[in-house]
Amino acid sequence: MMLDTLLKDAKKQLVSALIHKKHSFRYFTLTTLSLEGSPHSRTVVLRGFDPEKFTFSIYTDSRSDKVKELNKDDRAEFLFYDNNQLLQLLVRVNLIGSISSEEKFNSLSDSYKKDYCATQQPGNPIKGPEDIEYDFDKGYFIELNFKAVQIEYLKLKRPNHLRAKFHINQNWKGCFITP
Ligand SMILES: Cc1cc2nc3c(=O)[nH]c(=O)nc-3n(C[C@H](O)[C@H](O)[C@H](O)COP(=O)(O)O)c2cc1C
């Protein structure tokens, strides 16, 4: 089993998740550091992945906690898990940029726009799920771009589990580690 096969497989799966809506990697856990320094995780949708540049993108509301947290500390971790393959990818990333694209927001249908244009701040208490107003002219849509610095591949299988780590500083050469 060659190490670079594992890295290639990880990238192939991520590319596949962009195309196939049912792929488990479409939804993943994004962990940031809260303003107090504690871990803060949430589920997000994978919106972009470039296997050559090893960059990722997600869409969010520019007023959300994750944006505030990443502006303070650009480090984050992505956790992907595929229950069918018993495959876990842990990707350490840095925020490298954000694009608040009015064009992209305007191209969304109203039902999708809703996710980015509530007049109330995300995270604020409301009376109930219906107590939300939307401003379809003024979105808070933002695309966040991340660059991978390390990836850990873990697949549970018999007779031997497969666990390997790849780091940008070793030119993504990688090494097997004890599962
Ligand atoms: C299935 C699912 C998909 C989600 N996708 C996104 C997403 O792509 N972008 C996003 O900002 N929030 C997404 N959320 C909501 C986040 O998990 C989170 O609750 C919200 O973004 C607020 O996070 P924050 O206050 O920590 O920034 C998703 C939630 C679920 C359950």
pTM of the predicted model as reported, rounded to 2 decimal places: 0.96
Distance 44 CA to ligand 1 centre (A): 5
Distance 59 CA to ligand 1 centre (A): 9
Nearest by Cα to 162 from 87, 68, 71: 87
Q: Which atom of ligand 1 is nearest to the CA of 42?
A: 17
pLDDT of residue 139: 86
Q: Which atom of ligand 1 is nearest to the CA of 32?
A: 26
The long-range contacts involving 111-115, CB below 8 angstroms and separated by at least 24 positions, are 113/139, 113/141, 115/59, 115/61
pLDDT of residue 154: 98
- Which string of DSSP letters, residue by residue, matches 14-28? HHHHHH-TT-GGGEE
Nearest CA to ligand 1 atom 13: 44
| β-pair type (175-176, 87-99) | unpaired
Nearest CA to ligand 1 atom 22: 64
Question: How many domains does the chain contain in total?
Answer: 1
Distance 120 CA to ligand 1 centre (A): 16
122 lines ligand 1 (CB under 6 A): yes
Nearest by Cα to 57 from 115, 168, 143, 116: 143
Q: Is the pLDDT of residue 1 over 70?
A: no
The rounded distance, in Å, linking the Cα atoms of 60 and 29 is 14
Q: Is the pLDDT of residue 7 over 80?
A: yes
Nearest by Cα to 120 from 130, 105, 100, 134: 134
Distance 143 CA to ligand 1 centre (A): 13
Q: Taking all residues of the chain, what is their mean pLDDT, rounded to a whole number?
A: 95
Domain span holding position 70: 3-176
Encoding tokens for residue 140? Answer: 């808070």
pLDDT of residue 102: 85
The rounded distance, in Å, linking the Cα atoms of 142 and 68 is 12
The rounded distance, in Å, linking the Cα atoms of 164 and 7 is 9
pLDDT of residue 82: 98
pLDDT single digits (tens) 64-121:
999 999 999 999 999 999 999 999 999 999 999 999 888 888 888 889 899 999 999 8
* CATH at 56: 2.30.110.10
pLDDT of residue 101: 82
Q: How confident is the model at residue 137 (pLDDT cuts 50, 70, 90)?
A: confident
Best substitution site from 34, 44, 114, 116 to test ligand 1's pocket, by max atoms within 8 Å of Cβ? 44
The rounded distance, in Å, linking the Cα atoms of 69 and 88 is 25
The rounded distance, in Å, linking the Cα atoms of 91 and 14 is 12
43 lines ligand 1 (CB under 6 A): yes
Q: How confident is the model at residue 146 (pLDDT cuts 50, 70, 90)?
A: very high
Cα separation values, 127 from 22, 122, 132, Å: 34, 14, 9
